[in-house]
Amino acid sequence: MPGTVLNELWTNEADRKPLLRQVGNQIAAVHEAEFDQPGMIIGGDASELHLTDTSWVETLCETVEWRAQDWFADRFRDLPGQLINTIQAVDPTLDGTTPTLIHGDPSRVNVYLDPNGLLDWERALVGDPAFGLAEALFHHLGQPDVSEDERPVLQSALYEGYRERAGTLPTGFEEKIPLYRAIVNLLIPQAFDDWASSAESKDALAADVREDFESRLDQARRVAS
């Protein structure tokens, strides 16, 4: 298909700031599709999507359950349940926010440029656009190949691209980001057996992963209290 996968440019040492601006712009474009209610997508076509009749909290919990079903590192099998308990405790709402389409997996291999577009929509859902932006932050800036020094600059570029299209960041983004970051970071323990296969001490690394994830859950609860 025409276009260039963002990951190709990213790994070829291209200037990452304009790439992140384009990502932010594309995420904002997805969020232009607005709905009357949140929900998981269970069918539909180009003219209409069929959604589950669920609240935003229920949608998030069902999303976590669904994402954890197919494969998950055995040593972390308890974490999805902890995450669901945290979502229910924090009880995020959509007050003042219009539910929008959320891609669900805006990773570097799913972002196309020239022409712009996103592939792989199997994780898509409808809900808080702040969650969609949090997913973009994780997939593009929460990876080992992004240094602590460049992360603030690239984050600003992502936000700039989003604002260019949407005018502003999603309502309540800063307040909601701790919980949403915890949700998207579930992928790290989930895929542990894949990305940590060559680690010298998997047990020690797993302990660090668990500590980091559980600290994110604690932070989400503290911010909401």
At 108, which CATH number? 3.90.1200.10
State both tokens at 108. 């570097």
Q: pTM to 2 decimals? A: 0.95
Structural domain count of the chain: 1
Strands (E), the chain: 4-5, 39-44, 49-51, 100-102, 111-113, 117-118, 125-127
Range of the domain at 53: 4-224
Q: List phi, psi (to 5°) of 102.
A: -125, 130
Read out DSSP for 107-142? Answer: -GGGEEETTTEE---TT-EEE-HHHHHHHHHHHHHS
Give, for all 225 residues of the chain, the pLDDT tens digit.
Answer: 778 999 999 988 779 999 999 999 999 999 999 999 999 999 998 889 999 999 999 999 999 999 999 889 999 999 999 999 999 999 999 999 999 999 999 999 999 998 899 999 999 999 999 999 999 999 999 999 999 999 999 999 999 999 999 999 999 999 999 999 999 999 999 999 999 888 788 999 999 999 999 999 999 999 887
**Residue 173 amino acid letter:** F
